Structure 1
Amino acid sequence: FVLVGLEKFFTKVTPDVVRMIVVPFMSLVPAVFIAHLVVGPIGWAIGDAIANAVSWGLASDVRVLFAALFGLLYAPLVMTGLHHMTNAIDSQMVSIYEYTTLWPMIALSNIAQGSAVLAMIVLQKRNERAQQVNIPACISCYLGVTEPALFGVNLKYKFPLVCGMIGSACAAMVCTGFGVKALSIGVGGLPGILSIMFNYWGIFALCML
């Protein structure tokens, strides 16, 4: 956003004859400094706050309600890039407890968004142009890479995004309510069941539906 604003400003005030040279340089250099000195620290502070909230929520008496909230909001976190902070929480839980209860919810959120795209594949089965985006996005989402599904399909149509978020919230509640545990961080999609403790495979598979 900073770079776009600077680019528009310098495009407006720079003469045409030197615009090709001046605009990229004058837009990029300040944007880099602003990103490192202002935007970056703000992002870290927000990430730390979210990480602390997640750690508290998973250990609290209202963890099932927290799971619903986390499942609901995880997809928007992915769109902002703040979801990377969950890796530190997962790693810490695995090192202390030898399992993590957070990662199963993440995998289920990815599956929910993939299922929302799958619904769009069915609804748009006669639209070949849409299917060129829908099908690869669905496959990648089920394999743990959600960005094509989120930005290419679900956010575009909005309704699938909301449906995926609601499905993720419901799955997270059930998953946390039954205490599903993962041995480690794995593939955040359908293959994610391989990281789940074997005795929780049944309930995790149910949540995947």
Structure 2
Amino acid sequence: MNHRWRTLDIVVAAVIAVAFGVIFWAWGLVWRAADPLFAFFPPSQALIYGVWLVPAVLGGLVIRKPGAALFCEALAATVSALLGSEWGGVTIAQGLIQGLGAEVAFAAFRYRSFKLPTAALAGALTGLGAALFDFFVWNTEYALWAYRIPYALFTIVSATVIAGVGGWYLTRALAGTGALDRFAAGRERRTV
């Protein structure tokens, strides 16, 4: 497998990242608006966290080259920060940590497995990165067992389902349109 990035890889990764950067910014508004829905148990709000982690998995599944997951997640976080995310520039560092999680999953399979279990693992590890970042940066003032631990677990579950499984289905849906025909993900669709 050729791990060199083509110009097309860079352009598509950037498009994924910028589109999700805008989604991230909007999702921040949804997150705040949803606060009352989770007032019964505030850590459970992390069940909707996975939306912020989709580009790491999607980028890895589409581009299938070292650095794609990291690039997509970090650039999306940067775009979100530039658009005025309430969390500011810290989201850039957060995006790097989150993208590393998915990158580790794809690297563990030497960028050769892009099946649903690999995508779910990429989502879970991206969620683990997010959970650890939040655990030590954003949630330090909260109680360990009453908030931080459940929040971390909900984040990992959300990432596994929304970013991992959802990212895999989103890749298949995009491939089904023919939009990914110049990528392995699109060529797989034609052979199945």
Query: TM-score by structure 1 length?
Result: 0.38
Q: Of the two, which has the highest radius of gyration?
A: 1
Query: Bigger relative contact order, structure 1 or 2, given CA contacts below 8 A and separation 6+?
Result: 2
* TM-score normalised over the length of structure 2: 0.40
